[in-house]
Amino acid sequence: MDIPNDSLLFSPLLWIALVILYSLKKGIYFVPQNRGYVIYTFGKYDKTLSSGLNFIIPFVQTVAADRNLKEQSLDIESQSAITKDNISLDIDGILFMKVTDAGAATNNVTDYKMAVTQLAMTTMRNAIGSMELDECFQSRDAINSIILNSMTEATQPWGVMVTRYEIKDITPPQSIREDMEKQMTAEREKRSVILTAEGVKTAAITKAEGLKRARVLDAEAAKAEQVLAAEAFKESQVLDATGKAEAIRLVAEADAHALITVGDSAKTVSGQSAVMLRLAQDAIMAHKAIADESTVVLTDGKTSENIANTVAQAIAVSSSLNLSNHSKEG
């Protein structure tokens, strides 16, 4: 027997099957990676489902929120802040944060993103208010650190962790920008003048050191030249003295040899005659030299007698030498 379609539509078994399928669909959840499903039981927080296959009780437990657990960035809109020296600045930034506790981010704060943004703006104004204008431009890292430390403690109850904060732009008023440009121009000119002066100073010092070094080298060269000249002169003097000493020695040896030769010759008869002749010649030459030195020669009339006496004395000396030699030979 055929069952009419209308009867199947109103069949209790069909409705039971549909209820069972719907309950299974509501009770089985596949949670993606880096997501957190917040579960309420009868309207009260119960647990947070982690990634993977999860089961809940249909109609008793519900998913109250789906939280992203990845790190997120939030733009902090430009806002006005007054510095310690009463200068108004427009500042914006960017904040990086992540949800560490999906339950706290759902239960402890209405909108954690808006709350974090508002807190960042307030903290940034406080940080700027504690610094002067120049310090704000020079200490961006310090400002970022102050904001990060303040927000880390404040956002902990919300289940949110601020990982980083960066100031993007600091915009002063137009008048301040003009003054800053003038100051920068003056600073550049000042540095240019200083660098030029330092360059001139360095060049002068280098030139002076070069002249000093040249003078020192000239003095050292002159000193070395004098030392070499003195050594050469000393060496020449030594050589000259050595040569003179050698010449004197040779002359003395020659004279000694001549005397020995004369003495040996004087031992003979002919040698004695030669000695007497030599003595007579020397005497005559001596008187001649005296006569040559003067046009007038004064004499006592005994000159020939003196010469004869001189010759006689020489003969006597020679005879005594011969007698001595003969006695020694005997």
Tokens of 207: 């030139």
Q: Is 47 helix (H, G, I), strand (E, B) or coil?
A: strand
Token pair of 295 as six digits: 């046009």
On whether both 188 and 153 belong to a single domain, the answer is no
In a domain, 257, yes or no: no
Which residue in 69, 152, 61 sits closest to 103, CA to CA? 69
DSSP characters over 106-133: HHS-S-HHHHHHHHHHHHHHHHHHTS-H
Whole-angstrom distance, CA of residue 99 vs CA of residue 69: 5
Residue 258, in any domain of the structure: no
Is 260 within a domain? no
> Letter for the amino acid at 43?
G
* Residue 81 and residue 44 share a domain: no
User: What is the mean pLDDT for each group of 10 consecutive residues in the chain (330 residues)?
Assistant: 54 73 79 91 89 86 89 90 88 92 91 92 90 86 90 91 91 81 84 89 89 88 86 82 83 77 68 66 70 58 57 58 56
- Domain identity same for 199 and 230: yes
Q: What is the phi-psi region of residue 86: left when phi exceeds 0, alpha when psi lies from -120 to 50, beta otherwise?
A: left
The distance from CA 140 to its chain's CA centroid, rounded to whole angstroms, is 31
* CA 73/CA 85 separation, integer angstroms: 32
How far is residue 123's CA from residue 167's CA, in Å, rounded to a whole number?
12
Beta-carbon count within 10 A of 195 CB: 10
201 and 161 in a single domain? The answer is no
Helix, strand, or coil (residue 36): strand
Instruction: State percent of the chain over pLDDT 90.
Output: 20
Q: Total structural domains in the chain?
A: 4
Give the pLDDT confidence of 232-246 residue by residue, as tens digits. 888 878 888 888 888
Point out the domain boundary residue: 225, 252, 279.
Answer: 252
Q: What are phi and psi of 77, to 5 degrees?
A: -65, 155
Give per-residue pLDDT as tens, 194-236. Answer: 988 988 898 889 889 888 888 888 888 888 888 888 888 888 7
pTM (2 decimals)?
0.51
Q: Are residues 86 and 157 in the same domain?
A: yes
Give the domain range for residue 106.
72-172
